[in-house]
Amino acid sequence: MQTEEYIRAGKIASEVRERVRDKNWIGKTVYEICEEVEGEIKKRGAKCAFPVNTSINEIAAHYTAEPNDPITIKDTDLVKIDLGVQINGYIADTAVTVCYDAQFDGLVQSAEEALANAMSMIKTGVKASDIGRTIETTIKKTGFKPIANLSGHSLDQYTIHAGRSIPNIWSIGGFSLSENSAYACEPFVTTNDGGGFVRNGQTKNIFALNSRKKTKNEEADRLLDFIWNNFNMLPFALRWIVNDWEEKQAKDLLNFLIKKKAVQAYPVLIEVNEQKVAQAEHTFIPNEDGATVTTRIQ
Ligand code: MN
Ligand code: MN
């Protein structure tokens, strides 16, 4: 556990997230948002732990901009901006939902309130299933539905999903929080017309290394080395390789590496009834009295 690096990453992530929250993104493209937010992370001397996610409306998670992606934020959109900061592989994972239409404020507030209630009960030994119960109860009390098949997760060096899940609903069994671990908690909320589940969509624009085994294709192996050297096992986007490879070639090489199972591609996650989804997220390290919420505003 490198507590100091987790805290430094968290401070940067919280500063960048609050800038994202306060800014009016209407009329901006998702490409502009991703580039600007990633720039804010790098400007503060850290690296991105994953491509900034800009998941709009019924897309709950895992959408990042394509190179020059023209999708533009409208005043009725609900946009989950999920960002990750890493220092030596120690990660801060945090998200905010921005919306400019008052009719969706309740949905956003519900996710924020569920997260706040979850954070206030954290300490060493608390059961993940009890956190899930608090999140579910809070969301239902505000008149909405949690997304049951999305959850928070333990973190480890260069590893975003380190094996433990923090559910957004009550569930049987599960583990207890350890003070030697960092975790992310991320309630996702949809309306009562939503199914309360996500499904995989067709679009896949976030990738991660699976294996460093050579492919016998020289150029593909060069890209494999580039990915390992720059992103380790953490997720990346096509945007992050088109400075070094021409876009068409980069796409072909990526598809080749996916076919060889050297790289995996993550599909976007869409609410099953195509209802709008809001999200809030913090990273924290439990202790005997409570928790260090690394991504809380200082
Ligand atoms: Mn996140
Ligand atoms: Mn997360």
- CATH number (domain holding residue 29): 3.90.230.10
**Residue 296: inside a domain, yes or no?**
no
Dihedral sign (CA 281, 287, 288, 290): negative
Q: How many CA atoms does the CB half-sphere of 212 hold within 13 Å? A: 8
Q: Is residue 192 part of a domain?
A: yes
Write the DSSP string, 113-138.
HHHHHHHHH--TT-BHHHHHHHHHHH
- 35 part of a folded domain: yes
The catalytically annotated residue of 66, 77, 153, 271 is: 153
What does the pLDDT read at residue 73? Answer: 98
- Shared domain for 171 and 245, answered yes or no, is no
Q: Are residues 120 and 224 in the same domain?
A: no
Please indicate, yes or no, whether residues 169 and 228 belong to a single structural domain of this protein: no
Is the residue at 75 inside a domain? yes
**d(C-alpha 284, C-alpha 298), whole Å:** 14
- Is residue 295 a part of any domain in this protein? no
Q: Which of 82, 112, 113, 136 is labelled catalytic?
A: 82
Residue of 15, 32, 35, 161 with catalytic role: 161
The yes-or-no answer on residue 62 being catalytic is no
239 and 273 part of one domain: no
Same domain, yes or no, for 118 and 244?
A: no
Regarding whether 86 and 234 lie in a shared domain, the answer is no
What pLDDT does 172 receive?
Answer: 86
Q: Are both 10 and 134 inside the same structural domain? A: yes
Inter-CA distances, 37 with 69, 127, 265, 274, 290, Å: 15, 34, 22, 27, 30
Among 58, 93, 136, 271, which one carries the catalytic annotation? 93
216 CA from centroid of ligand 1 (Å): 35
215 CA to middle of ligand 2, Å? 31
Strand order in the sheet with 165-167: 165-167, 151-155, 182-185, 282-286, 291-293
For ligand 1, the distance from its centroid to the CA atom of residue 99, given in whole angstroms, is: 18
281 is catalytic: yes
Q: How far apart are the first and last CA of the chain?
A: 21
19 and 106 part of one domain: yes
Q: Report the 3 state secondary structure along 212-239.
A: CCCCCCHHHHHHHHHHHHHHCCCCECHH
Our answer to whether residue 93 is catalytic in this structure is: yes
Task: Mark the residues whose beta carbon lies below 5 A from ion ligand 1.
Answer: 82, 93, 95, 281
Residue 185 Cα to ligand 2 middle (Å): 7
Residue 221 lies in a domain: yes
Report if residue 298 sits inside a domain: no
- Residue in 38, 112, 281, 282 annotated catalytic: 281
For residue 50, the CA-to-ligand 1 centroid distance in Å is 9
22 and 125: one domain? yes
CA 248 – ligand 2 centroid, Å? 30
Residues around ligand 2, an ion, CB closer than 5 A: 93, 184
- How does DSSP assign 3-26, residue by residue? HHHHHHHHHHHHHHHHHHHHS--T
Of residues 298, 245, 258, 266, the one with CA closest to residue 82:
266
| Residues 127 and 248 reside in one and the same domain | no
Report the separation in Å between the CA atom of 280 and the middle of ligand 2, taken as the mean of its atom positions.
10
Collect all residues with Cβ–Cβ distance below 8 Å to 197 and sequence separation of at least 6: 147, 148, 149, 271, 272
> Is 223 within a domain?
yes
282 is catalytic: no
> Looking at the 3D structure of the chain, how many domains does it have?
2
What span, in angstroms and rounded, lies between the C-alpha atoms of 30 and 222? Answer: 29
149 plus 122 within the same structural domain: yes
153 belongs to the catalytic site = yes
Residue-level pLDDT, tens digit, the chain, 298 residues: 789 999 999 999 999 999 999 999 999 999 999 999 999 999 999 999 999 999 999 999 999 999 999 999 999 999 999 999 999 999 999 999 999 999 999 999 999 999 999 999 999 999 999 999 999 999 999 999 999 999 999 999 999 999 999 999 998 888 999 998 999 999 999 999 999 999 999 999 999 999 999 999 999 999 999 999 999 999 999 999 999 999 999 999 999 999 999 999 999 999 999 999 999 999 999 999 999 999 999 8
Alpha-carbon span 128 to 244, nearest angstrom: 43
Q: CATH number of the domain at 230, please.
A: 1.10.10.10
Dihedral class, residue 13 (left if φ above 0, else alpha if ψ from -120 to 50, else beta)? alpha
Give 94's strand partners: 83
Whole domain around residue 233: which residue ranges? Answer: 208-268
Q: Read off the tokens for 34.
A: 């991703």
Judged by its nearest atom, the ligand closest to the C-alpha of residue 279 is 1
Distance 268 CA to ligand 2 centre (A): 14
> Separation of 254 CA from ligand 1 center, angstroms?
24
Same domain, 155 and 36: yes
The whole-angstrom separation of Cα 111 and Cα 135 is 9
